[in-house]
Amino acid sequence: MHEWALAEAVIVAASKIAAKENLKEITEVIIKVGELQQVEEEIILFGFKQLKTDLFKATKFHILKAKTKLKCHNCATTWDFKKENLDETTAESIHFVPEVAHAYVKCPKCGSPDFEIVEGRGIWLEKIKGVK
Amino acid sequence: MIDPRSSVIVKRFKNIKRVVAVSSGKGGVGKSMIATTIALKMAKKGLKVGLFDLDFTSPSTHLIMGVKNIQPEEEKGIVPPCVNELAYMSLVFYSGELATPLRGVDISNALLELLSVTQWGDLDILILDMPPGLGDVMLDLIKLVKKIEFVIVTTSSQLAFQTVKKQLKLLRELKVKTIGVVENMKISRIQLIQNETEKLGFVYLTNIPYDKTLEDSIGDCEKLLATNFAKIIDENLIKKMGM
Ligand SMILES: Nc1ncnc2c1ncn2[C@@H]1O[C@H](COP(=O)(O)OP(=O)(O)O)[C@@H](O)[C@H]1O
Ligand SMILES: [Mg+2]
Ligand SMILES: [Zn+2]
């Protein structure tokens, strides 16, 4: 249920944007979740349902999935993160703080833990639409 | 594309009365020992205290307190476990004792993640054990947590104090509240650090002598709290922090 805290961040961030843009209503929110964090979609959507204020009365929430691309700082190899290669406890640790991947994941070519999370890390607000 | 996490941090800190970072431009000056001891002593006084280890690549507070076999709970975020009467949070809950090499951007991201998902609840004070230096964690915190205050630790050495002086000036420029300076591991009676600190217009909080028994207390909170080191923190420092 730690996704609830992230859902709340999305609601607060979207509300802030709405206030800045003078939106009376938010009609659509698109978020992107990176594979690395393995966020559970249903829990995020459940969080939105519980947290939404009047501003979100008629909001359609969409969740898009993004692959996680990692790039080795040592040998420049790029590869996709695959949760399947990890045991459950490790996957869960990365779920809470994606950066701890640096303790568990190594470059498939040279074995270095010094890699960049190029894309698909956590949760992003991709787009919001509303009416003034 | 917008990162939503920073928006919710104000909310997470709403019911925390004070946030105090124990910091230094220099490493190895006693930040972790002092931060942990402040937190433990304050909790003994009946205050609601949190301790947050922000030295992600070299965490030590779990070693100082002998924390083992404990994990945070999940409840609308991450709820810090209660350790020695403290609400306690550290990246070691997720990285274990494995080496965790993190570059600046990763450190900022891990910090942002923990700040936005950790549910501290009501606290009188949250003590932050900071990494050394004037880098990402310090700058991000100043940006994200407006109520932050600093206790700066130095040793009697010029090698530490010259860096601390720069840090003090920087904090003043950034208009951040600085409670004062602690001179740790003092072995001589020279008052140079006190004089220079006061000349810069900062409060010299206390000195703490070098305590030979301290190393032996690592991993045992009761032992730590019985040291002369802890007694000085209790009698001189905590009062001057206004608690
Ligand atoms: N007053 C003191 N007397 C003796 N040893 C001390 C004192 N303060 C700190 N130390 C020791 O100095 C070392 C560095 O302390 P630590 O708290 O890890 O510093 P930092 O967090 O600033 O890197 C530790 O071994 C600690 O036990
Ligand atoms: Mg330390
Ligand atoms: Zn490589």
Q: Where are the domains of chain A?
A: 2-131
Name the nearest CA neighbour of A75 among A44, A110, A47, A36.
A110
Nearest neighbour of A9 by CB, restricted to B7, B103, B114: B7
Is any Cβ of chain A less than 8 angstroms from the Cβ of B94?
Answer: yes
With a cut of 90, say whether residue A79 has pLDDT above it.
yes
> Where do we find the tokens 């000195």?
B207
The helix or strand, by DSSP H or E, that contains position B180, with its residue range, turns out to be: strand B177-186
The helix or strand, by DSSP H or E, that contains position B181, with its residue range, turns out to be: strand B177-186
Contact A125 B113 (CB under 8 A): no
Is any Cβ of chain A less than 8 angstroms from the Cβ of B79?
Answer: no
With a cut of 90, say whether residue A85 has pLDDT above it.
no
Amino acid at B192: L
With a cut of 80, say whether residue A25 has pLDDT above it.
yes
Residue A85 CB-density burial (10 A; 0-12 exposed, 13-18 middle, 19+ buried): exposed
Contact B100 A100 (CB under 8 A): yes
> Would you place residue B1 in the very low, low, confident or very high pLDDT band (cuts 50, 70, 90)?
confident
Distance (Å) from CA A114 to ligand 3 centroid: 8
Contact B2 A125 (CB under 8 A): yes
> Would you place residue B208 in the very low, low, confident or very high pLDDT band (cuts 50, 70, 90)?
very high
> Where do we find the tokens 């990285």?
B95
Is any Cβ of chain B less than 8 angstroms from the Cβ of A113?
Answer: yes
Distance (Å) from CA B55 to ligand 2 centroid: 6
With beta carbons less than 8 A apart as the criterion, state whether B145 and B21 touch: no
Shortest-distance ligand to the CA of residue B27: 1
> Can you list the domains of chain B with their CATH numbers?
5-240 (3.40.50.300)
With a cut of 90, say whether residue A105 has pLDDT above it.
yes
Contact A5 B8 (CB under 8 A): yes
Shortest-distance ligand to the CA of residue A73: 3
Mean pLDDT, residues B229-241 taken together: 97
pLDDT at B49: 98
With a cut of 80, say whether residue A1 has pLDDT above it.
no
The helix or strand, by DSSP H or E, that contains position B21, with its residue range, turns out to be: strand B16-23
Tell me which chain A residue has its CA closest to the CA of residue B78: A2
**How far apart are the C-alpha atoms of B32 and B51, rounded to whole Å?**
10
pLDDT at B78: 97
Amino acid at A13: A
**How far apart are the C-alpha atoms of B1 and A122, rounded to whole Å?**
12
The third-level CATH classification (topology) of the domain covering A2-131 is hypothetical protein PF0899 fold (3.30.2320)
pTM for this structure?
0.97
Calculate the average pLDDT of chain B: 97
Residues 6 or more apart whose CB falls under 8 angstroms from that of B157 comprise: none
